[in-house]
Amino acid sequence: MTAAIEVNQVCKCFGPVCALDHVGLEIQEGEFFALLGPNGAGKTTLINVIAGLTIADSGSVHIMGQHVVHHYRQARRLLGVVPQELVFDPFFTVREALEIQSGYYGIRGNGAWIHEIIERLDLADKADVNMRALSGGMKRRVMVAQALVHKPPVIILDEPTAGVDVELRQSLWEFIRQLNQAGHTIVLTTHYLEEAEALCSRVAMLKQGRIIALNSMQQLIAVMTTGYTLRLRLQPDQLPVAVQEKQTGCHNGFHELKIDAYAQIESVLAELRQAHIQILEMQLQQPDLEDVFVDLMRHYV
């Protein structure tokens, strides 16, 4: 199977700063892939290299088998990118902007698809409004529509929900999920880690221009984290001596205990019953992508 995106040992430096340091990865057709990292990690530079907007110093990138430099026309036709910055032409309406975008790719008679994405992205009441009159959230919707107007099999979303309201975020993800289910490959960068965890099947984490983790979402969380946090609010507000060794902290009236497996919960409850301590509230917190991200970024040098 041809990889949707193949990045082979890509390097890119800007003066003394190495934005990408021998980055290599493959994203398979139909994947929903997360590309994560702190500000300055190299995510946007990598996206620009994949999109052909920045030329790598060394290494190569292919989109569906097409070299992004040597076969740039074919590669760009296969790719849709929603950039992080708000970029728009202030002289056209929403519908006109999408029609012009279709023309860039030589697509005629694209009205039905333009109408569909306008409807799906809740832009119908703004379709004939000038772009400069739109709010920031509406402009971002149009940018998503522009990336989809030529029906690319590979879609890159660079912080697509930054600064948008909850309603748009939900409707956008529903639309993107359906595109992914229809076979489109989706690559997402976001600082909303809960979005990445809910949507993506595999993740790569970048720091200082290098990939420091690459795995499926479930395996990455399982390998990088251990145990669970049991949070208890008690009456009287004290832990039995036999349980105190498990305590890791106390916040907002909750005693926090570290346990390694679900079976240990029963032993904690048994000690509380024996000590005649009543549980007012109990929470079990499982490790998530944010825990992995914070741990990796803190310890990788």
Please report, for the domain that includes residue 213, its CATH number. Answer: 3.40.50.300
Q: Which residue has the higher pLDDT, 301 or 219?
A: 219
Please report, for the domain that includes residue 239, its CATH number. Answer: 3.30.70
**Coil, strand or helix: which one is 25?**
strand
Is there a domain that residue 116 lies in?
Answer: yes
Of 222, 251, 276, the one marking the end of a domain is: 222
Share of the chain above pLDDT 90, in %: 56
Query: Residue 253 and residue 235: Cα distance in Å, rounded?
Result: 11
Question: 235 - beta bridge partners?
Answer: 278
* 157 close to 185: Cβ distance less than 8 angstroms: no
Quote the number of domains for the chain.
2
Of 188, 207, 222, the one marking the end of a domain is: 222
Is 179 in the same domain as 211? yes
Is 263 in the same domain as 154? no
Is 240 in the same domain as 201? no
* 215 close to 202: Cβ distance less than 8 angstroms: yes
Is 273 in the same domain as 256? yes
Q: State yes or no: pLDDT of 167 exceeds 70.
A: yes
Of 184, 207, 222, the one marking the end of a domain is: 222
Query: Residue 242 and residue 256: Cα distance in Å, rounded?
Result: 15
Residue 276 has a CB neighbour count (10 Å cut-off) of 8
Is 257 in the same domain as 209? no
**Coil, strand or helix: which one is 135?**
coil
Query: Is residue 98 very low, low, confident or very high in pLDDT (cuts 50, 70, 90)?
Result: very high
Is there a domain that residue 136 lies in?
Answer: yes
With a CB cutoff of 8 Å and minimum separation 6, the contacts of 273 are: none
Is there a domain that residue 27 lies in?
Answer: yes
Is 152 in the same domain as 241? no
Q: State yes or no: pLDDT of 182 exceeds 70.
A: yes
Is there a domain that residue 297 lies in?
Answer: no
Is there a domain that residue 298 lies in?
Answer: no
Is 209 in the same domain as 238? no
Taking each helix axis from N to C end, the angle separating 166-181 and 136-148, rounded to the nearest 10 degrees, works out to 10
Q: b or e along 94-114 (b: 16 or more beta carbons within 10 Å of the residue's beta carbon)?
A: bbebbbebbeeeebeebeebb
Is there a domain that residue 294 lies in?
Answer: no
Per-residue CA distances from 91 to 10, 85, 94, 97, 166 (Å):
38, 18, 10, 9, 29
Is 274 in the same domain as 139? no
Per residue in 217-275, pLDDT (tens digit) is: 888 887 766 678 899 999 999 899 888 888 988 888 899 998 888 888 999 999 999 99
Is there a domain that residue 207 lies in?
Answer: yes
Whole-structure pTM value: 0.81
Give the domain extent around 240.
226-287
Is 175 in the same domain as 275? no
Edge-first strand order for the sheet with 79-82 is 79-82, 154-158, 185-189, 32-36, 202-207, 210-216
Query: Residue 295 and residue 145: Cα distance in Å, rounded?
Result: 36
Is 198 in the same domain as 150? yes
Which whole number is the average pLDDT over 14-37?
A: 94
Which whole number is the average pLDDT over 48-75?
A: 94
Is 217 in the same domain as 262? no
**In this structure, what token pair is assigned to residue 251?**
């916040």
With a CB cutoff of 8 Å and minimum separation 6, the contacts of 266 are: none
Is there a domain that residue 301 lies in?
Answer: no
Edge-first strand order for the sheet with 247-251 is 247-251, 254-259, 228-235, 278-285
Q: Which of 175, 172, 293, 124 shows the shortest CA–CA distance to 224?
A: 293
| Residue 138, φ and ψ in degrees, nearest 5 | -70, -40
Is 270 in the same domain as 196? no
